[in-house]
Every structure is written in structure tokens, then in C-alpha cells.
Amino acid sequence: MQQDVERVLISEAEIKAKIAELGAQISADFAGKDLVVVGILKGAALFCSDLFRAITIPAELDFMRISSYGAATKSTGVHRVLLDLDYTLEGRHVLIVEDIVDTGLTIKFLKDYLSQRGPASLKVAALLDKPSRRKVPVTVDYRGFEVPDFFVVGMGLDFREKYRNLREICILKPEIYES
């Protein structure tokens, strides 16, 4: 797996430190509030579980899975909910946890979808942010790292379902993407 990596963009130590920082900030911001953390499968599963452990206030954990149709490395903005939440959101504080915000279409869809359930607030945490590719304006309330316009893998992010278990954020060798 490691031999397919061209370059490490963000190290494991940097990711760990950033998640601790985000966890502390979220814990302070939502202290005394009824917080539901919503991880978006599958990409955010690893970030979400690390972030959730870094949150030191009472909170609930739930997951959603959505599909977006299209090519392996592009988001089309057409979404379907494959797994929905167990919990009601009425009057609760919701934190959506995503792996990466690219065009912003997925977050826009999720915010529109979940805001219909009457949450008291709806915020977004994303490990990575690629603002140069935005098609719709999206606020990332808790951002790990800004990345340039490369297709990245690792820490939950895949290329054709592989490389999610890389511990760093990496760019793969061009021949891997071309194969």
C-alpha cells in the first residue's frame, strides 16, 4: 500500500494534534448542550471515531450513509440516503462530520435534508477542505486542514475503496489513478 504513495501531504502526528484541538474546541462550544455527532459513512468513519473520542462532554453518536452517483474521483451532487439516523433531531445541536468538503454539494444536501428535522443548530466538521473546488458556498465550522486541488487518500478517504487505512493524508502515484 505504502509503495503506491507519491507524497504525504499531512502526517499522522499532525492529524492527531489537530483532532485533539478540534475536540477541545467542540467540547467548549457545546458544553451544556444536547449534542448529536453525525458521521457520514464511509469516508468520515475514521475521522469521526477519533474526533468523537476527543470530545469530552456528553454527546450521542450516529451515522448516515449517502451515495453520490458519478465517476470514481468526482462528486456529481446527486444524492440518495442509504442509511438514515436513529435519533430525532428536534431541538438538538447537530454536528455533521465529513471527511472532506470539495464542491460542497454533499454538505449542502445534508444541511438541507437535516434542517427539515428542526435541529436547534446544524454545524459542520471536516477533516479536509478543498475551497478551490467549491460549486456552492458552504461553511466549514470546524476544519482540520485546507488541501490543494489534488485527489487525496488515507484516514478514511478512498480511491476505489482502497487506501482508507493509510494513517496519513497522501497523494497516490499517477499510474495508480490512471490504471
Could you list the active site residues? 102
For residues 93 and 120, the answer to whether their CB atoms sit within 8 Å is: yes
Select the residue interacting with ligand 5GP from 131, 151, 176, 177 (CB under 6 A): 151
By CB under 6 A, is residue 169 in contact with ligand 5GP?
no
Render 106-124 in DSSP notation, one character per residue.
Answer: HHHHHHHHHHTT--SEEEE
Residue 40's contacts (CB-CB under 8 Å, 6 or more residues apart) are 48, 63, 64, 65, 66, 96, 97, 98, 99, 106, 110
CB of 157 to ligand 5GP, least distance (A): 4
CB of 172 to Mg ion, least distance (A): 13
* DSSP structure class, residue 140: -
Rounded to whole angstroms, the Cα distance separating 80 from 88 reads 20
By CB under 6 A, is residue 39 in contact with ligand 5GP?
no
Cell digits for 31? 458544553
CB of 104 to ligand 5GP, least distance (A): 5
For residues 40 and 98, the answer to whether their CB atoms sit within 8 Å is: yes
Amino acid at position 62, single letter: D
Chain mean position to CA 150: 16
Which residue, 58 or 84, has its beta carbon nearer to Mg ion? 84
Select the residue interacting with ligand 5GP from 35, 36, 89, 106 (CB under 6 A): 106
Which span sits near ligand 5GP by CB under 6 A: 2-10, 58-66, 99-107, 117-125?
99-107
CB of 40 to ligand 5GP, least distance (A): 7
Which residue, 62 or 158, has its beta carbon nearer to Mg ion? 158
Rounded to whole angstroms, the Cα distance separating 13 from 78 reads 35
Binding partner of residue 105 among ligand 5GP, Mg ion, none, CB under 5 to 8 Å per kind? ligand 5GP
For residues 102 and 95, the answer to whether their CB atoms sit within 8 Å is: no
State the residues that interact with Mg ion by CB under 5 A: 43, 99, 158
Give the footprint of ligand 5GP on this chain (CB under 6 A): 43, 75, 98-106, 151-153, 157-159
